[in-house]
Chains A and B, each alone.
Chain A
């Protein structure tokens, strides 16, 4: 231990600590300054940026022992001093914070930049903030916010009463994000909490035997307990698709993937910091592993799960029309094979939380997208009644589907329940990357037939998904993809078949789009080849075949309205013409670079596939005249808190400012369902609308007022203005229904869907969102590097409830699409960190222009539908199409890294040499 005296935010502090401890840990754990976030502990993400003697550094690479006499400033200090007030207001105004986990790092880096450069331009902002990663925003709004900060004067946008929907109001939960006061999974735990860490398999497949665990605990002072499979009181498995749930909390006898949990070590914090888990008593025997779907499908391959023949978890299928006849009548048939790899969610907040036992109940506070599903899983694992379990989602520092499966929830609950002491955990970055779900790698074969006039006739799509060791959301991917693989187009005949295949890889699960982004790559890239083969402009080809209202989808569903795909394509048409002309003129000049333009479309069904998917929202009015929204739809940065508030406010007919929000918390908010499948705006929005309307009716009935009335709160009086007359409701005089509420309403919305028949026919979704994106880029022909110039994204969002948040979703989706197209591939055992696994930085996302198309969906609240996943789906294919446009040859194995692009350029050059042309 060393005693170190230094200055933090202007105040002298004295810290007793092991001198090598990271400054971030001292700030957070010893000094309670949790605005500084920890994303990687390796200087890769910048979330822990602080000012050390007025210079921006990563707190995670500063040993506290060296700080004697130095000065540290954190976001708390910048906030308290008022020195970044304009910057903070500019961040809120521009929507520069989504989940908020990178926001403190961004603000500190920006403060450091503005100290030396009071009027930075875009390049200066990128250079200044290039060391901080963000996975949500796509960076564009951060750049705008920093550039605008020095002179930022604008007042926050306020929505007129009853007209919040459609307004670019700042997010209602934004202030804590820009002040660093939002509480994420690792930011708070009860005093005296123990720390737990997981022992994981170092091999993709291995049997193991424990040594003397009791002796291990006893020989380490400060260790409290070790838990293994034998300590699980309930069922030792979990899984989101209950009939197929197969993943053990702790592996028994054999681990099926590298990173699988086998034991939990729990102890006091400082000894847990000092313990070397490599000394844990366990003998591993590495076994031959199946690392690819080819190996797993081979005859005689060992089965990961004995009942799943050929290692096939599930197959999916949609079939419509006479495929053979349609292909036979086609003038052109084009086919192609496409491959994608594992993609990591790379949210900047690793899994974290704490659990505590309160009497005969267990509380788990955790970063999660799905509190009610967590509750059931924890109850089953601990053999408790669900009423004994409470899940309280913390602020979620990015999810993207990766926090839809339980991770550390059962570990926390098991340890806290048994030890009757609070227990906390935070995954390290490598642990998060090796053990949690990934986007499914896909191998896809597609065949498309069209007439000489460019009318689509048939598609045959086949995909094998590497679903990893356990089911997770593999069934959802296998079922959703066949419906979507054709894209938003009309076919005479269609067949799509999928299989999710087990391997000894990490479980593939949910990741923004559930397999549809992979399928869209195959379909949209092949479409460009079809259009070229029939000699029709690529955008025009899409327009001619676009799905419209009154036409059947590939599952035979017919929508009467809310199909805005043609509008999206038409919105892009003038940009397409302009960009193509500019690229052609650039390319005439030569000089070792070529420009290309690409377009790709998408459709995506909001909500569960052909399954019930209800959301329940409760609302009320309290004695002080506050309208209360019990908001159980977890906001993971996408904006559900704001959007659902806007819808509720308008449904009641009161200003946003008269509302307060409660939740999410399984004890207080009803089940709004999981934050997935782009469902919260549409489904929870509808529930909030219905609950709001119901509350409004109740209040009007209490004073006998008409439908046209408006509300005004005056202290504890509710004034109801009804056609020139004012009726008063004395809230204090009303009977209390529960808590402080004098009026309560609750509503559930479940989308009208049907089950699919054996050919995949039916109505799997009540609402689809549509869109198309256009990419302009430039390729360096010597290096194979791609410089993105501009994206234009047109999305049918039904109704733009909050244009700023929608742009944020679009820009963030595009950033993830850029990663998928150009740089991201998770390789088990090789890229378990954020310097080998690359996600886009602030320098990698160009200008994005969003065009919001409003088709006014008859089923959406105020016509609105989802955007979260839609925005990512067309990005990678539009980039790949632009790349092919530039270099004349398509890339079918992702990511299109510079070496692959250069190899493609070389192959095109060889081809052109033979043909007597020069690229």
Chain B
């Protein structure tokens, strides 16, 4: 390492690493700093570029890490990593989220990347988003002036855009507790086994009666629109059907016509719709076969 004033001048950055939430909220209050959590999206976006922008590194906020169950909600701290979720002992309805956690990047990314980072990065192909949509998750946003809780679908406002305001931090993802033995699944499709950006992914949660009648379902599709979407028509068409009803025959192209996939290096738009239907059918088949 070279010493000297020039190094100090050129190499210095505005880097804050608060150790408690209050200091962190103070640090973000002026809204000028990039917030860094797991840093797994921060560095890839800056290859070959100087690392000189003002940053607040919130990775030291241990209070934002971990999953806590209360009577009416499951609170997933913002800094909970995918490997924490993968390994967590959670009710069955979280199966889809845990499957997604095990398919994000490789172990290295799962041991660093956080749930809040995945949401704030707001990639259309974020693997964490569809399962959280099927869990009716909300995002807890905290600032010095207070706290608000926004449904995830509303939090995601567009392609890589969110409702996060400059002076706020995501502090938790909140999943309401309900019938926790619901069927839950996540299907990811990519062109290779590991470390792959999804072509399409589908998350499914289905609540059924003791007799196998579908009471409620949520099906969310990622990488097929600027923001992951629920298939609400399909969800309502499934209501009242039985698991023995050959559910996989139900999904039709018009159920996915609200999606807006694009052609890119990973697949054509038309293929994405076909694959979405295939993955939805697969989840419904799994539901039918599930105990």
Task: Give chain A's interface residues, CB within 8 Å of chain B.
Answer: 1-2, 16-22, 29-30, 40-44, 46, 49, 52, 55-58, 60-63, 65-66, 109, 112-113, 126-128, 130-133, 221-222, 268-271, 273-277, 428-431, 782-785, 822-823, 825, 827, 830-831, 833, 835-836, 838, 840-844, 897-899, 902-903
- Please pick, from A21, A128, A277, A897, the residue contacting B51 in the complex, using a CB distance under 8 A: A21
Q: Which residues of A contact B105 (CB under 8 A)?
A: 43, 131
B55 at the interface (CB under 8 A from A): yes
Q: Which residues of B contact A62 (CB under 8 A)?
A: 39, 112
Supply 18 A–B pairs (Cβ within 8 Å), ascending by A. Answer: A2-B15, A17-B1, A18-B51, A19-B57, A42-B47, A57-B108, A61-B38, A62-B39, A66-B57, A66-B60, A130-B193, A270-B1, A429-B47, A822-B191, A823-B191, A835-B195, A844-B193, A903-B271
B17 at the interface (CB under 8 A from A): yes
Q: Which of B1-50 touch A at CB < 8 Å? A: 1-2, 6-13, 15, 17, 36, 38-40, 42-44, 47-50
Given contacts A270-B10, A270-B11, contact A902 B274 (CB under 8 A): yes
How many B residues face the partner with a CB closer than 8 A?
A: 59
Once the chains bind, are B47 and A428 in contact (CB under 8 Å)? yes
- Please pick, from B7, B55, B111, B278, the residue contacting A783 in the complex, using a CB distance under 8 A: B278
Q: Which residues of B contact A428 (CB under 8 A)?
A: 47-48
Once the chains bind, are A18 and B1 in contact (CB under 8 Å)? no
Once the chains bind, are A841 and B271 in contact (CB under 8 Å)? no
Once the chains bind, are A268 and B2 in contact (CB under 8 Å)? yes
Q: How far is the CB of B102 from chain A (nearest CB, A)?
A: 8
B281 at the interface (CB under 8 A from A): yes
User: How far does the alpha carbon of A22 sit from the alpha carbon of B192 in the complex, in Å?
Assistant: 28
Once the chains bind, are B108 and A276 in contact (CB under 8 Å)? no
Once the chains bind, are A276 and B49 in contact (CB under 8 Å)? yes
Q: What string of 1s and 0s marks CB contacts (under 8 Å) between B81-107 and chain A?
A: 001000000000000000000100111
User: How far does the alpha carbon of A421 sit from the alpha carbon of B83 in the complex, in Å?
Assistant: 47
Once the chains bind, are A131 and B107 in contact (CB under 8 Å)? yes
B265 at the interface (CB under 8 A from A): yes
Once the chains bind, are A899 and B271 in contact (CB under 8 Å)? yes
User: How far does the alpha carbon of A833 sit from the alpha carbon of B274 in the complex, in Å?
Assistant: 28
Once the chains bind, are A842 and B11 in contact (CB under 8 Å)? no
Once the chains bind, are B193 and A20 in contact (CB under 8 Å)? no
Q: How far is the CB of A437 from chain B (nearest CB, A)?
A: 20
Q: How far is the CB of A199 from chain B (nearest CB, A)?
A: 12
> Closest A-chain residue to B106, C-beta based?
A131
Q: Which of B225-278 touch A at CB < 8 Å? A: 265-268, 270-271, 274-275, 278
Q: How far is the CB of B12 from chain A (nearest CB, A)?
A: 6
Task: Give chain B's interface residues, CB within 8 Å of chain A.
Answer: 1-2, 6-13, 15, 17, 36, 38-40, 42-44, 47-52, 55, 57, 59-60, 83, 102, 105-109, 111-112, 189, 191-197, 199, 265-268, 270-271, 274-275, 278-279, 281-282
Once the chains bind, are B195 and A836 in contact (CB under 8 Å)? no
Q: Which residues of B contact A1 (CB under 8 A)?
A: 7-8, 11-12
Q: How far is the CB of A3 from chain B (nearest CB, A)?
A: 12
User: How far does the alpha carbon of A269 sit from the alpha carbon of B7 in the complex, in Å?
Assistant: 9
Once the chains bind, are A274 and B10 in contact (CB under 8 Å)? yes
Once the chains bind, are B47 and A271 in contact (CB under 8 Å)? no
Once the chains bind, are B192 and A823 in contact (CB under 8 Å)? yes
> Closest B-chain residue to A62, C-beta based?
B39
- Please pick, from B195, B271, B281, the residue contacting A784 in the complex, using a CB distance under 8 A: B271
Q: Which residues of A contact B270 (CB under 8 A)?
A: 899
Given contacts A18-B13, A44-B44, A65-B15, contact A56 B111 (CB under 8 A): yes
Once the chains bind, are B15 and A19 in contact (CB under 8 Å)? yes
Once the chains bind, are B112 and A65 in contact (CB under 8 Å)? no
User: How far does the alpha carbon of A840 sit from the alpha carbon of B193 in the complex, in Å?
Assistant: 8
Once the chains bind, are A898 and B194 in contact (CB under 8 Å)? no
User: How far does the alpha carbon of A586 sit from the alpha carbon of B10 in the complex, in Å?
Assistant: 65
Once the chains bind, are B11 and A274 in contact (CB under 8 Å)? yes
Once the chains bind, are B189 and A785 in contact (CB under 8 Å)? yes
Once the chains bind, are A274 and B52 in contact (CB under 8 Å)? yes
Q: Which residues of B contact A46 (CB under 8 A)?
A: 106, 108, 195
Q: Which residues of A contact B274 (CB under 8 A)?
A: 902
- Please pick, from A63, A268, A275, A825, the residue contacting B39 in the complex, using a CB distance under 8 A: A63
Once the chains bind, are B43 and A131 in contact (CB under 8 Å)? no
Q: Which residues of A contact B17 (CB under 8 A)?
A: 19, 65-66
User: How far does the alpha carbon of A26 sit from the alpha carbon of B265 in the complex, in Å?
Assistant: 35
Q: Which 8 residue pairs across A and B have the least CB separation, nearest first?
A: A131-B106, A843-B193, A130-B194, A899-B271, A42-B44, A782-B278, A274-B10, A20-B51
Once the chains bind, are A830 and B265 in contact (CB under 8 Å)? yes
> Closest B-chain residue to A130, C-beta based?
B194
Once the chains bind, are B2 and A61 in contact (CB under 8 Å)? no
Given contacts A43-B109, A843-B194, contact A221 B51 (CB under 8 A): no
Q: How far is the CB of B198 from chain A (nearest CB, A)?
A: 12
Q: Which residues of B contact A40 (CB under 8 A)?
A: 47
User: How far does the alpha carbon of A268 sit from the alpha carbon of B2 in the complex, in Å?
Assistant: 8
User: How far does the alpha carbon of A764 sit from the alpha carbon of B178 in the complex, in Å?
Assistant: 75
Q: How far is the CB of B157 from chain A (nearest CB, A)?
A: 25
User: How far does the alpha carbon of A112 sit from the alpha carbon of B265 in the complex, in Å?
Assistant: 34
Q: Which residues of A contact B199 (CB under 8 A)?
A: 898-899
Q: Which residues of B contact A127 (CB under 8 A)?
A: 102, 107
Q: Which residues of B contact A57 (CB under 8 A)?
A: 108, 111-112
Given contacts A20-B13, A841-B192, A843-B193, contact A782 B281 (CB under 8 A): yes
User: How far does the alpha carbon of A843 sit from the alpha carbon of B213 in the complex, in Å?
Assistant: 38
Once the chains bind, are B42 and A61 in contact (CB under 8 Å)? yes
Given contacts A66-B17, A902-B274, contact A271 B7 (CB under 8 A): yes
Contacts A270-B6, A835-B197 aside, 17 further interface pairs with beta carbons under 8 A come to A20-B52, A29-B1, A30-B1, A41-B47, A43-B43, A55-B83, A56-B108, A62-B112, A109-B108, A270-B7, A276-B52, A429-B47, A784-B271, A840-B192, A843-B192, A898-B267, A902-B275
Q: How far is the CB of A441 from chain B (nearest CB, A)?
A: 15
> Closest B-chain residue to A825, C-beta based?
B265
User: How far does the alpha carbon of A16 sit from the alpha carbon of B1 in the complex, in Å?
Assistant: 8
User: How far does the alpha carbon of A785 sit from the alpha carbon of B189 in the complex, in Å?
Assistant: 9
Q: How far is the CB of A2 from chain B (nearest CB, A)?
A: 7
- Please pick, from A29, A221, A830, A836, the residue contacting B10 in the complex, using a CB distance under 8 A: A221
Interface centre among B15, B39, B195 (most CB of A within 10 A): B195
> Closest B-chain residue to A50, C-beta based?
B108
Q: Which residues of A contact B39 (CB under 8 A)?
A: 61-63
- Please pick, from A29, A112, A842, the residue contacting B194 in the complex, using a CB distance under 8 A: A842
Given contacts A56-B111, A835-B197, contact A274 B43 (CB under 8 A): no
Q: Which residues of B contact A44 (CB under 8 A)?
A: 44, 195
Interface centre among A21, A40, A58, A843 (most CB of B within 10 A): A58
User: How far does the alpha carbon of A899 sit from the alpha carbon of B266 in the complex, in Å?
Assistant: 9
Interface centre among B6, B107, B275 (most CB of A within 10 A): B107
Once the chains bind, are A838 and B191 in contact (CB under 8 Å)? yes
User: How far does the alpha carbon of A370 sit from the alpha carbon of B102 in the complex, in Å?
Assistant: 43
Once the chains bind, are B109 and A131 in contact (CB under 8 Å)? yes
Once the chains bind, are A61 and B43 in contact (CB under 8 Å)? yes
Q: How far is the CB of B196 from chain A (nearest CB, A)?
A: 7
Q: Which residues of A contact B111 (CB under 8 A)?
A: 52, 55-57
User: How far does the alpha carbon of A18 sit from the alpha carbon of B13 in the complex, in Å?
Assistant: 7
Q: Which residues of B contact A271 (CB under 8 A)?
A: 6-7, 10-11
Once the chains bind, are A833 and B47 in contact (CB under 8 Å)? yes
> Closest A-chain residue to B194, C-beta based?
A130
Once the chains bind, are A65 and B2 in contact (CB under 8 Å)? no
- Please pick, from B59, B108, B266, the residue contacting A43 in the complex, using a CB distance under 8 A: B108
Q: Which residues of B contact A431 (CB under 8 A)?
A: 48
Q: Which residues of B contact A52 (CB under 8 A)?
A: 111
Once the chains bind, are B13 and A19 in contact (CB under 8 Å)? yes
User: How far does the alpha carbon of A22 sit from the alpha carbon of B6 in the complex, in Å?
Assistant: 20
Interface centre among B48, B83, B102, B111 (most CB of A within 10 A): B111
Q: How far is the CB of A438 from chain B (nearest CB, A)?
A: 15
Q: Which residues of B contact A833 (CB under 8 A)?
A: 44, 47
Q: Which residues of B contact A65 (CB under 8 A)?
A: 15, 17, 57
User: How far does the alpha carbon of A842 sit from the alpha carbon of B40 in the complex, in Å?
Assistant: 21
Q: Which residues of B contact A276 (CB under 8 A)?
A: 49-50, 52
